[in-house]
Amino acid sequence: MGDSQAWIRGLTPACESLADDVAAALRQTDVTVLPRAPDIDHVPRVLVCGADSGGLGAVVRDLSEGGRHRLLVVAGATTAISPGSTWRLLQQGASDVLVWDGQPTARVAAARLDRWRVIDELVDSAQVRDRLIGRSPCWRAVLRRVVEVARFSTSFVLVTGASGTGKELVANLIHQLDPRPDKRDLVVLDCTTVVPTLSGSEFFGHERGAFTGAVAPRDGAVALADGGTLFLDEVGELPASLQAELLRVVQEGAYKRVGSNVWRRTRFRLVCATNRDLVAEQQAGRFRSDLYYRISAATVWLPTLAQRPDDVLPLFRHFLREFRAGEPEPQITPEVAEVLRARQYPGNVRDLRQLALQVAFRHVGDGPITPGDLPEEERPVDGRAPADPGELLDEAVRRTVAAGLGLREIRDAAAESAIRAALTQTGGRVALAARLLGVTDRALQLRRSRAAGGT
**Domains detected in the chain:** 5-123 (3.40.50.2300), 137-208+217-301 (3.40.50.300), 305-387 (1.10.8.60), 390-453 (no CATH)
Q: Which SS3 state, helix, strand or coil, does residue 218 take?
A: strand
For the chain, give the number of residues. 455
E strand or H helix that includes residue 396: helix 389-402
| Residue 442 pLDDT | 72
DSSP state string for 125-168: SHHHHTTS---SHHHHHHHHHHHHHHHH----EEEE-STTS-HH
| Residue 351 pLDDT | 94
| Residue 417 pLDDT | 81
Q: Who's near 423: CB < 8 A, 6+ residues apart?
A: 429, 430, 433
Cα-based distances in Å from 245 to 119, 209, 251, 255, 302: 36, 21, 10, 8, 28
Q: Which of 345, 357, 436 is nearest to 385 (CA)?
A: 345
| Residue 420 pLDDT | 81
- φ, ψ of residue 298 to 5 degrees: the values are -135, 140
Neighbours of 248 (CB within 10 A): 13
Q: Who's near 148: CB < 8 A, 6+ residues apart?
A: 115, 119
Cα-based distances in Å from 176 to 131, 182, 250: 11, 12, 21
CA distance 5 to 113: 8
CB-based contact 434:444 (threshold 8 Å): yes
Q: Which residues in the chain come in under a pLDDT of 70?
A: 1-2, 41, 52-53, 197, 209-210, 382-395, 399, 402-404, 425-427, 429, 431-432, 435, 449-455
Pairing mode, if any, of strands 186-190 and 229-233?
parallel
Beta bridge partners, 258, equal 206
| Residue 325 pLDDT | 87
| Residue 114 pLDDT | 94
| Residue 52 pLDDT | 65
